[in-house]
Amino acid sequence: GRGSGGMASKLEAARIASWSGVRTVIADASRPGVVAGAVAGDLVGTTFEAHDRTLAARKLWIAFAAQVAGTITVDDGARRALIERSTSLLPAGVVHVDGRFGEGDTVDVVGTDGVPFARGMVFVEAAQLRRVAGRHTSDLPAGMTHEVVHRDDLVLLPS
């Protein structure tokens, strides 16, 4: 049918398409020639250009479809390492844990300003992470994974 879903749904779909490498146009389809104009690149509505850096299906799911179960606040050093060097998140960079999440759940990663900049699947449940937050790898309990969120399971959110 025509015009199903609200504007928020359309914007979210366009954002997902953009991160999938697809140029998307939201326009009034009842206007004559609008589809041909959109395909031709004419300014017929709101255009979302395809991102150069596309996300694999797994990372698209983490970023846009997975239910967020909690929040991990990281210090500035960890934030820089995640953004600039694409590292995994380690307990040493964690300053606060909010929520009740288990291994494999999805969490938002926020800076000390409280603004989410990444989302990822955790390897450590919330209660255990609270106990080891801020500790260096050498100070972790024997047998505990060194990574809170592996870089392959971490998505930097569009700013």
Q: How do residues 38-95 score in pLDDT, each as one tens digit? A: 889 888 999 888 887 777 888 888 888 889 999 999 999 999 999 999 999 999 999 9
> Residues 60, 103, 119, 128: what is their CA dihedral angle, to the nearest 10 degrees?
-170
Please, are residues 48 and 18 in contact by the beta-carbon 8 Å criterion? yes
Query: In the CATH scheme, what is the code of domain 59-156?
Result: 2.30.130.10
Instruction: For residue 8, give the H/E element and its range.
Output: helix 7-19
Between 62-66, 83-87, 103-107, 109-113, the lowest mean confidence (pLDDT) is in 62-66
- The pLDDT, as a whole number, for residue 142 is 86
pLDDT tens column, 117-129: 999 999 999 999 9
Question: For the chain, how many residues are written?
Answer: 159
CATH 2.30.130.10 residue window(s) in the chain = 59-156
- The pLDDT, as a whole number, for residue 52 is 78
Positive/negative CA dihedral, 30, 33, 38, 42? negative
> Residues 6, 1, 14, 70: what is their CA dihedral angle, to the nearest 10 degrees?
50
Give the Cα separation of 33 and 48 in Å (integer): 19
Give the Cα separation of 75 and 38 in Å (integer): 44
How does residue 145 score in pLDDT terms, banded at 50, 70 and 90?
Answer: confident
